[in-house]
Amino acid sequence: MEKMIGIVLVSHSKKITDGIQELINEMTGNQVKVVSAGGTDDGRLGTSAHLIMEAIHDCSECKRILIFCDMGSSILSSETAIDLLEPELRDKCLIVNAPIVEGAFVAAVQSMVTTDIDNILDEIRNMQNSMPV
């Protein structure tokens, strides 16, 4: 089965992205392609455009690649990574401006029933609207 949607996780903490990946794999029975790209190249707190590029390449067979970031420079590093990609792969990528844990989880579950990006983003919006603080 072709994995249609890929999910790339970018946090300043590798523990956080490893944890989200593990949780998604457990909840979806490993049916969703999800790659952890948190922390620096050597696992410290921070982000790495190089690591994010590798994670995106790891999803190259996917139709679309959704990238979830935690804050600030994780978005900048993801943008840098995307800029450095070959155009064909770059066009598949979308940075989703949503909470990293909850957003990635909703995207993963929803991508099991549809590959329509608008539909997946709608579900993430519904989740966010259910969090009035």
69: which strand partners?
10
Nearer to a second copy, 15 or 63 (CB): 15
What is the maximum span of the chain, computed from C-alpha positions, in angstroms? 40
Please state, in angstroms and rounded to a whole number, the distance separating the CA atoms of residues 132 and 65.
28
Catalytic (active site) residue 50:
no
Does residue 45 belong to the site contacting a second copy (CB under 8 A)?
Answer: yes
Exactly one of 9, 10, 12, 34 is catalytic; name it: 12
Q: Which residues are catalytic?
A: 12
Residues that bind a second copy (CB under 8 A): 11-20, 22-23, 26, 38, 45, 70-71, 96-103, 105, 121, 124-125, 128, 131-133
